[in-house]
Structure 1
Amino acid sequence: MIRNSQKTLIFIDFNGNIEAVFNENLEAKTCAFKSLDDLRETDEVLEIIYKSFISSDVLDKLFELKLLGINIIEYFDFFEQYQGKINIDIISKEWFLKSKEFKLLHSNFSKCFKRSFDLITSISLLILLLPLFLLTYICIKLETPKEFFSSPAFFKQKRIGLLGKEFTIIKFRSMKIHDPKIYSKYSSKDDKRITKVGKIIRKLRIDELPQLFNVIKGDMSLIGPRPEWNELGKEYEQLLNLYTLRYAMKPGITGLAQVMYSYGANLDDAKRKLEYDIYYIEYFSFLLDLIIIFKTIKIVVFGRGV
């Protein structure tokens, strides 16, 4: 049977009943299918998405349909494949233990290669960007001329890194000096604490450049989950499922969540970013790192993203 090229996605429940039908762009569509039995004779390209713990009868029907050339995919795998992130509401420690991915965690070659790339790139960037470092330093100092010698140009904060160990991150200061216990734990694009110079260096991501020293020191990587403030991170560990899985890799200056999601300013945003972080850790590859680097450059050039 020759099938047309338009793919139809069919979601079924535990009992094999058709719950929803979408096209390959995840747009809802109508169809004449009433049950799995109706799928045997059709010229459409089908993909059936099922949930775990289906009955043996449904399993037998899916087996027969796959023999007919219909693609069958479990819901969790579908979520990862089509959205490029992990649905943290349906994963567990058992899922992590059974996963055949997360290859970076036990590949010494990949770890050494990634570390070598981090060192060579970071040192090269520091040399090339030295004039920009000096210019930014002076501009931050001149914004408060009366406190030129006393006001810090750098911002330092405790963050959570590899395996949950704390380290001190360093950034160019983009905010007014304030007591973090008084203000919100979250920052936003229009945060009143951001200085005039801070707005510019944040938009161009220049404030992140001193983290190259963190990379050289070994606390961070160029690419990885962004390191969270230790106090906020400890809260997330209690509120978000498998949040500590982020600690399986060194945190990065940029990451998949940063190029795929908008500015985060609440718990729900942290949850959405965690889905991308876990996906990155699970499916890490040097090709994925290159994609993230190019997306980061695009964001910096066009002034979009986080």
Structure 2
Amino acid sequence: MLSATPPHGLSPRSGFVQLRVRHDRPLLDIAVAREADEILVAVKDRRGSLPMEQFLDCRMAGISILEPQSFFERELGLVKLDFLTPSWLVHADGFRQGTLTLAIKRFMDVSVALIFLLLLAPIMLLTVLAIAVESRFRHPVFYRQTRVGVNGIAFKVLKFRSMRVDAEADGKARWATKGDPRITRVGAFIRKARIDELPQILNVLKGEMSFVGPRPERPEFVEELARKNLFYAARSRIKPGVTGWAQLRYPYGSSEEDALRKLEYDLYYLKNHSTFLDFLILLQTVEVVLFGKGAI
């Protein structure tokens, strides 16, 4: 029996064909007849026995045998939490943070930060003036907020203020949402244009952030999310970023569920990060900001 429905998240044009095999023919014969290059083994219940001899025949014939985690990582650029186990993280390739890679990353951060400061200084000065005029020069232009950095160390992230000064007058942390009534008129524009994030260039120069990495979250949210998913704390193994893989691949999030979906992309970045991937993310971020494409 043949089903042309691909796994969740894949286009029907992806080339994936799902087979539910009846045991009246060897798996190799079916794979050859279908001209299969690889077989994805996605078993809901592992209590039964798998046809390992048939898988071995297919593998010896040059047909790849994939498990779901590797398949989704390759096709969707994420690490699926549904299939994630501590043992997979321990044995999987990647998660390299060599001295040379980190040194190159720091060199890129400082270089790009200095270039951006020179190029974007006029925009930042106009933003300062706009925020000050809107508040009649009575309220701060910048907003400092505690976020969780590398290895769980807290730091103060710097942003242009885009919300009212009494946005959290009761002291309770809240997720920012689209159309949030706490956002000012100037704030709505600078958030849409991502200008509110520009002061974080100073966080990058101080070494608290990188240009590319998981977005830093507030301690209250990190504590709650870490209780709900034991892999969430892994995000803090690398410096947080001004932009990141999750921001490019996932729409704006405003809930714990969104944060966990973004975690799948953050784990992919943590596993596969490299100088080339950082450069690619920076280029795509510029494209998103200038032309409005993508998820940021």
Secondary structure, aligned partner of 2:81: coil
Alpha-carbon shift at residue 183 of structure 1 (Å):
6.4
Deviation at 1:95? 2.4
Q: Which residue does the alignment assign to 1:4? A: none
Judged with a 3 Å threshold, the aligned counterparts in structure 2 of structure 1 residues 255 and 238 are, in CA distance, closer, same or farther, namely same
Percent of pairs identical after alignment? Answer: 36
Give 1:90 deviation, angstroms.
2.5
Q: Report how far residue 184 of structure 1 moved.
A: 6.3
How many residues align structurally?
Answer: 283
Aligned twin of 2:88: 95
C-alpha separation in 2, matches of 1:274 and 1:9: 26
Write out aligned runs for 1:1-306 (5 A).
25=14, 33-35=21-23, 37-40=26-29, 41-51=32-42, 58-104=51-97, 107-145=98-136, 148=137, 150-180=138-168, 181=170, 185-304=174-293, 305-306=295-296
Q: Provide the C-alpha distance between the structure 1 equivalents of 2:172 and 2:251, rounded to a whole number of angstroms.
A: 22
Query: Which contiguous aligned blocks of 4+ residues in structure 1 show a shift greater than 3 angstroms?
Result: 8-11, 26-29, 51-57, 181-184
- Inter-partner Cα distance in structure 2 for 1:141 and 1:60: 72
Alpha-carbon separation, structure 2, partners of 1:23 and 1:205 = 34
Q: Is the 8 A contact 1:256 1:280 kept in 2?
A: yes
| Structure 1 gap segments, 5+ residues each | 1-7, 12-21
SS at match of 1:265: coil
State how far apart, in whole Å, the 2-side matches of 1:125 and 1:80 are.
Answer: 32
1:256/1:80 CA distance change after superposition, 3 Å: same
Shift of 1:70: 2.1
Over aligned residue pairs, what C-alpha RMSD do you find?
A: 2.5
The code of the aligned residue for 1:124 comes to I
Deviation at 1:152, TM superposition (A): 0.4
> Which stretch of the first structure deviates more once superposed, 200-209 or 43-52?
43-52
* 1:56 positional shift: 6.6
- The CA deviation at 1:158 is 0.2
The answer to which of 38-47 and 187-196 deviates more is 38-47
User: Which runs of no fewer than 5 residues in structure 2 stay unpaired?
Assistant: none
3-state DSSP class of the match of 1:89?
helix
Query: 1:9, 1:24 within 8 Å by CA — same for their partners in 2?
Result: no
Query: Quick check: 1:92–1:242 contact (8 Å CA) kept in 2?
Result: no
Question: Is contact 1:9–1:47 with CA below 8 Å preserved after alignment?
Answer: no
CA distance in 2, matches of 1:206, 1:113: 26
Distance 1:227 1:32 in 2: 43
CA–CA distance in structure 2, aligned partners of residues 292 and 56 of structure 1: 43
For the residues of structure 2 that align with 1:117 and 1:75, how far apart are their CA atoms? Answer: 35
**Which stretch of the first structure deviates more once superposed, 108-117 or 125-134?**
125-134
Offset at 1:138? 0.6
How has the CA–CA distance of structure 1 residues 260 and 177 changed in structure 2, closer, same or farther, with 3 Å as cutoff?
same
Q: 1:23 to 1:64 in 2, by over 3 A?
A: farther
Of stretches 56-65 and 269-278 in structure 1, the one that deviates more from structure 2 is: 56-65
* TM-score, normalising length: structure 1: 0.85
Q: With the length of structure 2 as denominator, give the TM-score of the two structures.
A: 0.87
Which 10-residue stretch deviates more, 160-169 or 238-247?
238-247
